[in-house]
Amino acid sequence: MTASPMTTVPKIALKGVTKHFGPKKVLNGIDLEVAKGESLVVIGGSGTGKSVMLKSILGLLTPDSGSIKVDGEETTRLRSREREKLLHKFGMLFQGAALFDSLPVWENVAFGLIQGEHMPRSQAKEIAIAKLGAVGLTPDVAELSPSELSGGMQKRVGLARAIADEPEIIFFDEPTTGLDPIMADVINELIVQCVKDLGATAVTITHDMASARKIADRVAMIYQGRIIWTGHARDIDNSGNAYVDQFVHGRADGPIKMQIKAL
């Protein structure tokens, strides 16, 4: 692990976080720090627990053991009212978008503004339409129902919702999956902009190395429920770590073995 500056409290700090489902150990002692205003990209194979890690930080899943601190405050044992307050700081794009299908698109995007910040609906709608514009969606999409959108459009609405109330910390779970390469780059730019302009702290999960290179200050690789490597984005091609090398270059042979039986 590269040492992060200890003079300031990290925005998010995980120590020895474990989580299992039934007999299956998913997180196996995660240690990770994210500095304020930093953009961290988490890479790692499918099913290695990246989404579970994000959900544990948010408290949507309760870790079995370990410590999760946000702004230096322990969050694993918060009561629901305190948790609600903490979550004001967060925005999250879910891997499956998780849009509210009983509400039109604009109300999805404006949800945090209306319910969380008690903004008048008309004002919230204007902001929602502006955010939709930022993810490349036209105002006529605003009145549609989420089920009328394509997968990539839903993803972008989810993104607009995650950034709508300008949270301090934003989690993006595979923001560019299912988008065409041009739109993917637009989204990359948007994420960079959120971090630079709003001073937000971002954690992004992605399998898209082009996207990782573009948005990451730092990269962390997760393997078998542990963070096995973290480093600067520019060091990613000469990490000196065989696992990272194999992943970054997308090779089938290497230390990471896929459990596949030949036909």
Partner 1 sequence: MGFLAATGRAFLIFLEATGRLALFTGSALSHCVRPPLYPRQIMRQMIDIGYYSLPVVGLTALFTGMVLALQSYSGFSRFQAEGAIATVVVLSITRELGPVLAGLMVAGRIGAAMAAEIGTMRVTEQIDALSTLSTNPHKYLVAPRLIAGLTMVPLLVVVADIIGVFGGFLVGVYRLDFNAASYINRTWEFLEPLDVISGLVKAAIFGFLIALMGCYHGYHSKGGAQGVGAATTNAVVSASIMILVWNYLITGLFFSTK
Ligand X SMILES: Nc1ncnc2c1ncn2[C@@H]1O[C@H](COP(=O)(O)OP(=O)(O)OP(=O)(O)O)[C@@H](O)[C@H]1O
Binding site for partner 1 (CB under 8 A): 55, 58-60, 80, 83-85, 87-88, 90-92, 94, 96, 98-102, 111-112, 115-116, 161
Element (H, E) at 172: strand 169-173
- Residue 98's binding partner among ligand X, partner 1, Mg ion, none (Cβ under 5 to 8 angstroms by kind) is partner 1
CB 34 within 8 A of CB 71: no
Task: Specify the residue, 61 or 183, whose C-beta has the smaller distance to partner 1.
Answer: 61
Minimum CB distance to partner 1, residue 87 (Å): 5
Task: Specify the residue, 113 or 142, whose C-beta has the smaller distance to partner 1.
Answer: 113
Task: Specify the residue, 59 or 152, whose C-beta has the smaller distance to partner 1.
Answer: 59
- In the 8-state DSSP scheme, what is residue 248? H
CB 11 within 8 A of CB 35: yes
Q: Angle between the 151-163 and 121-134 helix axes, to the nearest 10 degrees? A: 120
CB-hemisphere CA count at 13 Å for 3?
Answer: 4
48 contacts ligand X (rule: CB under 6 A): yes
Q: Which residues 7-46 are close enough to bind ligand X by CB under 6 A?
A: 21, 26, 46
Count residues near ligand X (CB under 6 A).
10
For 143, the 3-state DSSP assignment is: helix
Task: Specify the residue, 54 or 216, whose C-beta has the smaller distance to partner 1.
Answer: 54
- Residue 52's binding partner among Mg ion, partner 1, ligand X, none (Cβ under 5 to 8 angstroms by kind) is ligand X
- Residue 135's binding partner among partner 1, ligand X, Mg ion, none (Cβ under 5 to 8 angstroms by kind) is none
Return d(Cα 167, Cα 202) in angstroms, integer: 10
Beta bridge mates, 91: 170
Residue-wise over 69-88: b if at least 16 C-beta within 10 A, else e? Answer: bbeeeebbebeeeeeeebbe
Site stretch for Mg ion (CB under 5 A), options 8-16, 51-59, 153-161, 228-236: 51-59
52 contacts ligand X (rule: CB under 6 A): yes
120 contacts ligand X (rule: CB under 6 A): no
51 contacts Mg ion (rule: CB under 5 A): yes
Minimum CB distance to Mg ion, residue 219 (Å): 17
Return d(Cα 32, Cα 227) in angstroms, integer: 7
CB-closest chain residue to ligand X: 51
Q: Which residues are CB-contacts of 49 (< 8 A; sequence separation ≥ 6)?
A: 19, 26, 27, 222, 225
User: Out of 95, 145, 177, 246, which residue is the one contacting Mg ion (CB under 5 A)?
Assistant: 95
